Structure formats: structure tokens, C-alpha cells
Amino acid sequence: MSKVRAYTIFPIHLILQFSNLGFWGMCIIIFGVIRFLIPIKEVSSRLLDIMHRLYSTFAIISVAMIKIFNRIEIQIDIDKPLSRQKWYLITANHRSYLDIILLIDFCAPRIPPPKFFIKKQAIWLPFVGLAAWALDMPFMRRHNQAYLEKHPHLRGKDIETTRKSCEKFVDRPTTVINFVEGTRFTPQKHALQNSPFSHLLRPKAGGIAFTLTAMGELFSNILDITIAYPHSKHPMMDMLSGRMTRIAIEVKTLEVSQELIGDYFDNPTFQAGFQQWVNELWLNKNERMKKWMTQW
């Protein structure tokens, strides 16, 4: 019966989720085009406020549908009070595309709307790419070391993109989200990396290091967020099929100390210390995930 139920739920839930994404994505794109055509600061600010509300509404409705189609418990633990009037940097692990919806929904009533660093190829995703552009999200084109050695003039381009993007966030409270692993967790990627963390990929420290350098004085706190799906190997498929039973989200509030702000790319001592700090975050995150897997 469970398989029959899953096969029945999947197409209905998928169509509803995609329709929700398409509707709110188109609304955001339309307002974004108007904002582009009327480059007046006051008008642009008002339109962006509207677009942020549409953005949050998309996630709230999406999570509501998840709860309707799944017999689910979503556990959210936050260690300290949060504010919509502050700037935050979120460092999170990345298990599934579902993480993005959950993080937008988490932010909606508590902190400013989140901005994700997005791969440049995502501009072509239906609704998602143009909506992200309209919301001033930074698009990144990452090059590996071998490519940069052949094209040295491109070295530092990502850093410059980050700097310009961060300048847009100075005038209003903003949440910046960085998936520190750089990609979604899969067993194949985990094995290929020979990751020392049983439930996580290796963290990449450069992105958050530079974001802290560019905006460190603005950020009120770093929010270290751990997301886990204890009973699910394929979170998106399980969620769409009505088989998702538990989601755990834990939020640890960290101070932005001066020791975390420095020249990551040209100061080897600072780089080593920062990498150690990130690895300790990941070690603690992995221990929490281990506990959830055994307790639930």
C-alpha cells in the first residue's frame, strides 16, 4: 500500500510544487523587469521589498504542501533570539535541493530574506535563474586550479564578483547563505573526496572567508545551520512521494570575531587558522548528525 500511495502522491505533489515555483517565480521576474526599467532608488527599494515577500511566500506555501503530503515532524532548534533588523551569514551543509526551500522558510519570520551564491549555469533554470537575478543574488563562475593556471587573467574574478555583490547588501539587513561544501552531498562525491566526515563533504573555506572580509563589520552573527533528513536517503524523492517523516534543523549562533576577518588568499597563517576553524565547525556538525541518525 505504501508504494501505491507514493506513486499516487508523486505526480500530484510534483505538479503542485512546480506550479507554486512557477507562479511566484514569474511574479518576481515581472517585478524585477519593472525594477530594471525604473532605476530610481526609492522605487527600486519598494519593489525589492515586494519581491522579498513573494520570495518568502513561495517557500511558506511549499513547506505547507510538504506537511500536507507527508506525515512529517520538522524539528527546529535555535539557541538564541534572532532579528529581522540584523545582518547574518549562514554556513550550512547541503544534502538536497530541499535545503534551499527549508532555509528560505526558516528565514521568513525570523531574519532578513536570504541571498544564495549561485552557480552561473543556474541562470538557465526555468523561473529560478531569472528570479534569482531579479533578487540581486550573486552568480559565481568557479574555475579549478588547472584552468586558472592556463588562464591566469581569470584569477580573482570570483572574489571580485563576491565583493560587488556584497556592496548591494550594505543598505538593508540581509542574510547571506553559503553552502560551505560547494555542492550537494552524495555517497559518490563523499567517496571521491575521501571525506573524513561520515555525513558531510569536505568544507571549502574560501567563500565564507572572503564574504567575512567583504562584509564582516556588518554581520551581527554567523548562524551555523545543520540540516538532516534522518530516515531519508533521497530527500527530494521521498518528500515528493509522501515518504518523508523527519527533518532536523539546528541553529548555532556564533560571534563574528576579528580573528575571522583577514586575507585568506595571501596570508598563509590566517588561511591555516581559518581552515582549522571551519573544520572544527564541520566536526561538531558531523557529530550532531551522527546523534540524529542513531536517536531517531
How high is the pLDDT of residue 267? 87
Most confident of 82-86, 135-139, 171-175: 82-86
CA distances 83 to 123, 140, 179, 227, 250, Å, are 31, 28, 22, 21, 17
pLDDT tens by residue, 100-120: 999 999 999 999 999 987 777
**Residue 152 pLDDT:** 57
pLDDT digits (tens, 9 = 90+) for 174-207: 999 989 998 899 999 999 999 999 999 999 888 8
- Whether the Cβ atoms of residue 161 and residue 139 lie closer than 8 Å to each other: yes
Q: What is the pLDDT of residues 230-284, one digit of tens each?
A: 988 899 999 999 999 999 999 999 999 888 988 887 888 999 999 999 999 999 9
Q: Where exactly are the structural domains of the chain? A: 2-295
- pLDDT at position 263: 83
Q: What are phi and psi of 226, to 5 degrees?
A: -110, 125
Query: What does the H/E/C string look like for the chain?
Result: CHHHHHHHHHHHHHHHHHHHHHHHHHHHHHHHHHHHHCCCHHHHHHHHHHHHHHHHHHHHHHHHHHHHHCCCEEEEEECCCCCCCCCEEEEECCCCCHHHHHHHHHHCCCCCCEEECEEHHHHHCCCHHHHHHHCCCCEECCCCHHHHHHCHHHCCHHHHHHHHHHHCCCCCCCEEEEECCCCCCCHHHHHHHCCCCCCCCCCCCHHHHHHHHHHCCCCCEEEEEEEECCCCCCHHHHHHCCCCCEEEEEEEEECCCHHHCCCCCCCHHHHHHHHHHHHHHHHHHHHHHHHHHHHC
> What confidence score (pLDDT) does residue 266 get?
80
Confidence band for 155, pLDDT divided at 50, 70 and 90: low
CATH of 2-295, one of 3.40.50, 2.60.40, 2.90.10, 3.40.1130: 3.40.1130
Residue 32 has a pLDDT of 95
| pLDDT computed for residue 1 by the predictor | 45
Rounded mean pLDDT of the chain?
88
